[in-house]
Amino acid sequence: MSSPIFEVDNLRAHYLTRFGQKIQAVDGVSFSLKAGEILGIAGESGCGKTTLVSACMGLYIPPLHLSSGDVRIEGKSIIGMNVEQNRRDILGRKISMIPQGALNSLNPTRKVKDLATDMILSHDETADKRQVHARLRERFRKLGMPADDVLNSYPVQLPAGMKQRVVIGISTLLDPRVVIADEPTSALDVSTQKAVIRLLFELMDQGIIGSMLFITHELPLLRHVSNNIAVMYAGEIVEMGTIEQVIFDPRMPYTQALMGSMLSADSGHRDQKPVSIEGAPPNLAHPIQGCRFAERCPVARPDCKENQQVIRIVKDRQVRCQYAE
Ligand SMILES: Nc1ncnc2c1ncn2[C@@H]1O[C@H](COP(=O)(O)OP(=O)(O)O)[C@@H](O)[C@H]1O
Ligand SMILES: [Mg+2]
Q: Which DSSP string corresponds to 24-69?
A: EEEEEEEEEE-TT-EEEEE--TTSSHHHHHHHHTT---TTEEEEEE
* Total number of domains constituting the chain: 1
Which is the closest atom of ligand 1 to the Cα of 52? 17
What digits encode the pLDDT tens for the residues 53-76? 999 999 999 999 999 999 999 999
Confidence check: pLDDT of 241 > 60: yes
| Average pLDDT rounded to a whole number, residues 115-124 | 81
Confidence check: pLDDT of 123 > 80: no
Residue 280 lies in a domain: yes
How far is the C-alpha of 230 from the C-alpha of 254, rounded, in Å? Answer: 12
pLDDT at 268: 55
Residue 115 lies in a domain: no
Confidence check: pLDDT of 124 > 80: no
Residue 65 lies in a domain: yes
The count of other CB atoms within 10 Å of the CB of residue 29 is 24
Confidence check: pLDDT of 6 > 90: yes
The count of other CB atoms within 10 Å of the CB of residue 258 is 25
pLDDT at 1: 64
pLDDT tier for residue 13 given thresholds of 50, 70 and 90: very high
Q: Is 45 in the pocket of ligand 1 (CB under 6 A)?
A: yes
Q: Is residue 133 within a helix (H) or strand (E), and if so which, with residue range?
A: helix 129-142
| Average pLDDT rounded to a whole number, residues 144-166 | 91
| Rounded to 5°, angle at Cα 110 from 107 and 116 | 90
Beta strand pairing status for 317-319 and 236-242? antiparallel
Residue 100 lies in a domain: no
pLDDT tier for residue 199 given thresholds of 50, 70 and 90: very high
Q: Is residue 15 within a helix (H) or strand (E), and if so which, with residue range?
A: strand 6-16
Residue nearest to atom 25 of ligand 1 (CA): 46
* Mean pLDDT, the chain, whole residue set: 91
Residue 281 lies in a domain: yes
| Average pLDDT rounded to a whole number, residues 272-298 | 90
Strand partners, 135: none
Domain range enclosing 285: 6-94+176-319
Spatial strand order of the sheet with 76-77 comes to: 22-33, 6-16, 64-73, 76-77
Quick check: 16 and 63 in contact, CB under 8 A?
Answer: yes
pLDDT at 181: 94
Residue 251 lies in a domain: yes
Residue nearest to atom 6 of ligand 1 (CA): 15
How far is the C-alpha of 125 from the C-alpha of 106, rounded, in Å? Answer: 20
Q: CATH no. for residue 242?
A: 3.40.50.300
CA quadruple 156, 162, 163, 167: dihedral sign: negative
pLDDT > 90: percent of the chain: 70
Ligand nearest to the CA of 25: 1
Confidence check: pLDDT of 228 > 50: yes
pLDDT at 88: 85
Residue nearest to atom 1 of ligand 1 (CA): 63
Quick check: 3 and 73 in contact, CB under 8 A?
Answer: no
Residue 101 lies in a domain: no
161 Cβ neighbours under 8 A, 6+ residues apart: 188, 192, 195, 196
Q: Is 101 in the pocket of ligand 1 (CB under 6 A)?
A: no
| Average pLDDT rounded to a whole number, residues 288-304 | 95
Residue 165 lies in a domain: no
Q: Is 23 in the pocket of ligand 1 (CB under 6 A)?
A: yes
Confidence check: pLDDT of 265 > 50: no
The reported pTM is 0.93
Strand partners, 212: 38, 179
Confidence check: pLDDT of 269 > 70: no
